[in-house]
Structure 1
Amino acid sequence: MISLNLSASLNPGLLHKTRQNPTRLSALLVTGDKPFSCRYPLGLSPIPNLQIRDSAAKKSLLSLTNPKTPAGSFSRRPRSIAAAGSSDPSPDSDSGEAEKKEKKAKNLQLGIVFGLWYFQNIVFNIFNKKALNVFPYPWLLASFQLFAGSIWMLVLWSFKLYPCPKISKPFIIALLGPALFHTIGHISACVSFSKVAVSFTHVIKSAEPVFSVIFSSFLGDSYPLAVWLSILPIVMGCSLAAVTEVSFNLGGLSGAMISNVGFVLRNIYSKRSLQSFKEIDGLNLYGWISILSLVYLFPVAIFVEGSQWVQGYHKAIASVGKPSTFYIWVLLSGVFYHLYNQSSYQALDEISPLTFSVGNTMKRVVVIVSTVIVFRNPVRPLNALGSAIAIFGTFLYSQATAKKKKIDVGDDKKN
C-alpha cells in the first residue's frame, strides 16, 4: 500500500496534459489535506479510495490512470514515477560510470608506469653495457649511477617537485643497513655486467628467490612445500644456462650471485628495521638509500680502481672516437638506472606484491631478449632452455609466495 497526500485543488486541465506528458504526474502529487492509498504502481490501474473534492479533477486523474487509456498516453511497463519522469541517469548509474572511468584511468596510469619501467630498464642495460665495454671499471660507473640518482632526488626536493620527507636520526640509523646491502647488490651486478653478457647476468639474477627463501628460513620464517618446490626449476634452469653460456666467466657468475645475496639481505633488513617509518613512501626511501650508498661506495671505488681511471678514460675515448659519445653513454646509464628504480617503486605502490613479482619476471624476459638483439650475443638452444626454465620457476615462486601471504593474513585476522 502506498499512502500519499493529494492536493484538493488539482487543476483538471493540468491533469489532462499529463496524458500527453506523463512526467508531469509527479508534479501533481503534492502535499494536501486528504490522504489516499494505492495498491498498484501509478499508471497501471485505477487508484481506489481516492479522496478528491473536485469531481472534474477526479475524473481527469482516473482517466489518466485507467488501464484502458489509449495507447501512447501512458506506458504499461512497470517503472517508478522517478524513472518515468526523469531522462537523466540515476545516481547509481552515475556512480557506476564514474567508477568505470576511474578504473580505466587507473589502468592506463599503471600501464604507463609499467611501460616506463620496462623501457627505462632496457635503456639502462644497453648503455651501461656499452660504457663498460669501452671503460671496464664498474666501481666508478656504479658510483656515478648512484651520484646521478642522488642529484635527481635533490633537485626534486629543492624545487618542491616532490615532497621531501622529514628525516630524523633514528631513520638514518635504521637505513644504514639496507643502504649497505643495496651498495653490495648494485656494485656486484655492475661487476657481473662488465665480465659477461647482460642476458646471462639477468638469468643468474632470476635466482634471487632461492636466496630469499634460504635466508628467511634461517631467520625463522617458514614456507609451504609449494614454495620450496618452485625454487627447484630456478636452480636447474640457472645451472643449465651457466654451463652452456658462451661468455661464461667465473667473475661474472660470482658477481651476479653476490648481487642476489645483497638485494635479498637489503629487503629482509628493510622489513625489520624500517617498520616504524611507514610515513616515508617508496620513492623517498629509495632516494635516501641512493645517497647513503654513494657515501659507502665511492671511497671504496677510489681504493679499488682509482689509479686506473685516467688511463682507462683515454683508451675509452680512443675506442669510441668522440668524447661526447662516451659521455652520453655514461650519462644515460646513470639517469636511467635511477629512473627505472623509481618507476619500480611507483609500480609497487599501486599494485599488489604478486602483480609486481610477475611484472618483474616479465621485465627480465624483455631485457634479456632486447640485449640479445642489440649486442647479438650467441645463444645456444640449451642456454635458451635453461633461461626459460629459470624464469618460469621465478613465476611459480611468485604465485606460491602470494598464496602464503594470503594464508598468513587470514591467520592474523583469526588471532
Structure 2
Amino acid sequence: MRAASEASEAAAEEPTESKKEKSFMDKFGVIIYIVLWYAFNIGYNIYNKKALISYPYPWACALWQMSFGWLIFVPLWILRIRKTPKLTVSQAVTLAPSALGHLATHVGAVIAFFAGAVSFGHIVKASEPVVSSFLNFAFLGEVMPWQVYASLLPIIGGVGLASASELSFNWLCFGAAMGSNLGSASRAVYSKKVMSGGDIGENMDSANVYAVLTIMATFMLIPISLLIEGPSAMLKGFKIAYSAGGMSFMWQMILSGFYYYMYNEVAFLALGKLDPVSHAVCNTMKRVVIIITAIFVFRNPVTGLGVLGSSIAILGTLIYSLAKNKYAKPLRLFGQRGGGGAWEVSAIFIRPSGPETRD
C-alpha cells in the first residue's frame, strides 16, 4: 500500500514538473534563443576575422566553415535525433540555384571581412533590402507601396556616407559585401518564383533545408576554391599559420566554423518565436552590437561621418522592415506565384511561410 501510494504521488508530481518546465521555456525561451543568437553571431565575426588574419585564404576559410556544419547535422541524422531529409534528383536540381545563392552569400561575406573591417562589411550588408527590392521588381514584377521605397533612401544615403568616410575603404570589401547581398536576395527571389509549391522532399523542415543547402553549396565550393587559391597554396599557408599560431590558430578555425553553423541554427529557433516587428528590432540591434563589438575588438578607426552614416543606414533597415510589415502587400505586375505551401527565404534559412525573416 505504501509503495502504491508513493507511486501514485510520483505520478501526480510528473505533470507538475513538466508543466513547470514548459512554463520556464514559455517565459524565457525567446530570451535564451536571442542571447545565444547574438553570442554565436558575435563569436563568429570575431573568430572569422582572426582566422582570416592568421590564414589569409578567404576561399579556404569559407569552405572550412561551410564544411564544419557536416560535423553537426550528419551525426544528428545518423543517431536519428533529427529526421533525415529525402529528396529526388529533380528536387535536388530545383534546390541547386538556392544552394548557389547560399554559396555566394557566405563567400561574399567572408571575402568582405577579409578585405576590410568587419564593421564596414556589416554596414554595406545592411543595404540588402535595396538589392532585394530591385530584384523582386525585375524578376517577379512586385511593386511595393511608396512608403516602403521611401524607407530605402536612408539606407542608400547612410551606406554612401559611411563608405565615403571609411578610412579603410577598399573596393574589394565593398564589392564582396554587395555580392553577398546579391546572393542572398537572388536566393529569396528564386524561392518565391520557383519553389512556391513547397514540394522539395520529405522531412524538409527549416533546419534540414539549411543543412541540404549547406551540403550542396559545399560541393559547389570545393572546385571553385581549389581553382582560385590552389591546394598547394592553401596547404602551404596553413602550415605557415600553424607554425606561427599553433593551437591558438587551430581554435580560431574551429570556433569560426562552429559559431557559423550554430548562429544560423539558433537563429531559426529565435526567429520562429518572434513576430515581424520584434524580429526587425532584434535584427537591427544585433547588427549594432556586432559593429560596436568589432570596432572595440579590432580597434578600427572610425570618423564622425562614418558613425553618422552607419547609424542612418542601420536605422533605415529598421524603418524598411517596419514599413514593409505595416503597409499593403506588394502589387504583382507580372507572373504568378505557384500553389499553396509557399516558402520564405532569408539570409539564414528557408522555412514555410510565416513572419518574414531577413539577416
Q: TM-score range by the shorter chain?
A: 0.7 to 0.9
Matched residue, 2:98: 178
Deviations 1:173-193 (A, max 9, x none): 221010001101111111111
Look up the match of 2:70: 150
1:356 to 279, 285, 289: 279
**C-alpha contact 1:201 1:253 (8 A) present in aligned 2:** yes
Partner of 1:234: 155
Query: How many Å separate the matches in 2 of 1:367 and 1:336?
Result: 14
Structure 1 length normalisation: TM-score?
0.71
Question: Residues of 1 paired with 2:249 and 2:27: CA distance?
Answer: 38
Tell me by how many angstroms 1:99 deviates. 11
Q: Deviations over 1:117-157 (max 9, x none)?
A: 11000000000000101211010110011110122110111
Tell me the equivalent position of 1:313: 238
Contact between 2:242 and 2:250, CA under 8 Å: does it hold in 1? no
Equivalent residue for 1:209, pick from 129, 132, 135: 129
Partner residue of 2:259 out of 326, 336, 343:
336
Higher relative contact order (CA 8 A, sep 6+): 2
CA RMSD, Structure 1 to Structure 2 (Å): 2.3
Partners of 1:150 and 1:405 lie apart in 2 by 41
TM-score, length-normalised on structure 2?
Answer: 0.81
User: Per the alignment, in what secondary structure is the counterpart of residue 350 of structure 1?
Assistant: coil
Q: Counterpart of 2:14? A: none
Q: How far apart, in 1, do the equivalents of 2:172 and 2:136 lie?
A: 26
Are 1:386 and 2:306 an aligned pair? no
Q: Percent identity of the aligned residues?
A: 37
Instruction: Tell me which moved more, 143-152 or 285-294.
Output: 143-152
Question: What's the counterpart of residue 296 of structure 2?
Answer: 373
Q: Which residue of 2 aligns with 1:122?
A: 42
The residue aligned with 1:327 is 250
The partner residue of 2:144 within 199, 218, 223 is 223
Aligned equivalents of 2:280, 2:242: Cα separation in 1: 40
Which runs of at least 4 in structure 1 moved beyond 6 Å after TM superposition? 98-104, 406-409
Q: 1:284 aligns with which of 196, 205, 208?
A: 208
Distance in 1 (alpha carbons) for counterparts of 2:211 and 2:325: 28
State the Cα deviation string for residues 332-357 of structure 1 (Å, max 9, x = none): 00011000011112223222344333
Q: How many residues align?
A: 310
1:260 aligns with 2:185: no
Larger Rg: 1
Q: Which runs of 5+ in 2 are unaligned?
A: 1-17, 332-352, 354-359
State the shift of 1:105 in Å: 3.2
Aligned partner of 1:90 in structure 2 is none
- Contact 1:282 / 1:349 at 8 angstroms: preserved in 2? no
- What are the residue-to-residue correspondences of 1:179-194 with 2, within 5 Å? 179-194=99-114
Unmatched tracts of structure 1, length 5 or more: 1-97, 410-415
> What is the alpha-carbon distance in structure 2 between the residues aligned to residue 105 and residue 313 of structure 1?
43
